[in-house]
A and B are shown apart, each in its own frame.
Chain A
């Protein structure tokens, strides 16, 4: 359910680290809580953000979920497939439904993230 090579935030986002670039998306738990995603708003490529800045939103009919960046850095790519067809965020939230790639300069922010096992437990214990 939750790939062991990813890290996870308390805001139900997953992070895949490839050298100095993070790929970010929302977890399976998050998309289930949200329901059918109908609108995705993503940041502009080139923008820089601090850790825990709001960089976008994922919306269902009833709810608006903020997307946060767990790391400080610069947006290098966004998934326009998710913007064009928000359903892929429900269908494959942890794969094809990825949302942004951000280049980060310091990995100290990653220390706040959980591994897969800890995240699984977090969800089971009635996480946020």
Chain B
């Protein structure tokens, strides 16, 4: 049976050259691993990893009404962003549940860039455009950017010699326009691994050259190309949510523990009524971490039980290369959501004991 053609990023050949194992992901052909998930994960924690995340979507929102529009559309406070700053936010339904999570970049007083999950690119664009209804100019600009993520304790040492951006003044969630190895770039101090690092927005034509230059420059410091497999284990250890797992159209930011994203006192936004009510009444369930204490690896979809009854479901689960144990996240009733609560997880028919834990599981040394 013929499959739909998968899209390829500008780094496709680079992945093949690096021995990447390419798999379908959100309609793209992406590297799940190169040397191996565990090796790449450890490289990011100890040195640096280089990820191709060019498949992610970008939406431009411009005009004199752009800021106000975005403040009425999203839960975080856009008016408080200074140019050169970004924040983590969401697109929510009227019920306060997630259409997607995303980053909002303030490029200028009337110019914003939304960076969204690859799997939701088209839907998010339609969503934003429909809600804008003329208040702002909304364009899908995903084709304008390739995106490389350089993450790990050596990220600064590797990037600094190649860029005219002063990394020492670039704070977390800050970004600056400049060049990297002579190519124009937005250098953003953001990431999805729990390590220090940068996401580099570049022209698609420059991506492969930059990829190679970063691997060359960082070789002596231990840089490795890293795939989607390691990206998932890293973000899970760092307690970061993934759309389609911890976040979806049945979950609110309050249930997901993302209360800090929701600025109810800024005025109305899509979903604010529902979230205000939920805040008053209390959330019925909460996202928690867990560590498996028995033998087995709990994975997405496995049922969580307490005192013999089903209380929730694993949203993400894996074996953690840094902590060397099976862990994950799940939604459980608020009353059970305390660290230390003992539960059981049904791992393919076998009941395995686990203990609830706080998120994140891992924090980098600062």
Q: Are B233 and A61 in contact (CB under 8 A)?
A: yes
A64 at the interface (CB under 8 A from B): yes
Give bound CA distance, A15 to B308, whole Å.
Answer: 40
Contact bitstring A63-98, B, C-beta under 8 A = 1, else 0? 010000000000000000000000000000000000
Chain B residues numbered 101-132 whose CB sits less than 8 Å from any CB in chain A: none
Which residues on the A side are within 8 Å of B318 (C-beta)? 61-62
Give bound CA distance, A39 to B319, whole Å.
Answer: 9
Chain B residues numbered 1-51 whose CB sits less than 8 Å from any CB in chain A: 32-33, 36-39
Question: Chain B nearest CB: distance from A70 CB in Å?
Answer: 21
Chain A residues numbered 32-80 whose CB sits less than 8 Å from any CB in chain B: 35-36, 38-39, 41, 57, 59-62, 64
B84 at the interface (CB under 8 A from A): no
Q: Are B319 and A35 in contact (CB under 8 A)?
A: no
Give the size range of A's interface with the partner. 10 to 19
With A35-B33, A35-B36, A35-B37 already in contact, the answer to whether A59 and B319 are too (CB < 8 A) is yes
Question: Chain A nearest CB: distance from B154 CB in Å?
Answer: 23
Nearest to A59 among chain B residues (CB) is B297
With A59-B319, A61-B229, A61-B318 already in contact, the answer to whether A38 and B33 are too (CB < 8 A) is no
Question: Chain A nearest CB: distance from B318 CB in Å?
Answer: 6
Question: Chain A nearest CB: distance from B347 CB in Å?
Answer: 9
Q: Are A39 and B37 in contact (CB under 8 A)?
A: no
Question: Chain B nearest CB: distance from A54 CB in Å?
Answer: 9
Contact bitstring B220-245, A, C-beta under 8 A = 1, else 0? 00000000010011000000000000
With A59-B319, A61-B229, A62-B229 already in contact, the answer to whether A36 and B38 are too (CB < 8 A) is yes
Q: Are A62 and B296 in contact (CB under 8 A)?
A: no
B295 at the interface (CB under 8 A from A): yes
B326 at the interface (CB under 8 A from A): yes
With A61-B229, A61-B233 already in contact, the answer to whether A38 and B36 are too (CB < 8 A) is no
Question: Chain B nearest CB: distance from A84 CB in Å?
Answer: 11
Q: Are A41 and B319 in contact (CB under 8 A)?
A: no
Nearest to A35 among chain B residues (CB) is B36
B191 at the interface (CB under 8 A from A): no
Nearest to B38 among chain A residues (CB) is A36
Most chain-B Cβ atoms within 10 A of its Cβ — which of A36, A61, A62?
A61
Residues of B within 8 A of A (CB): 32-33, 36-39, 229, 232-233, 295-297, 299, 318-319, 321, 326, 348
Residues of A within 8 A of B (CB): 35-36, 38-39, 41, 57, 59-62, 64
* 29 contacts across the A-B interface (CB closer than 8 A): A35-B33, A35-B36, A35-B37, A36-B36, A36-B37, A36-B38, A38-B38, A39-B295, A39-B296, A39-B319, A39-B326, A41-B295, A41-B296, A57-B348, A59-B297, A59-B319, A60-B37, A61-B37, A61-B229, A61-B233, A61-B319, A61-B321, A62-B37, A62-B229, A62-B232, A62-B318, A64-B297, A64-B299, A64-B348
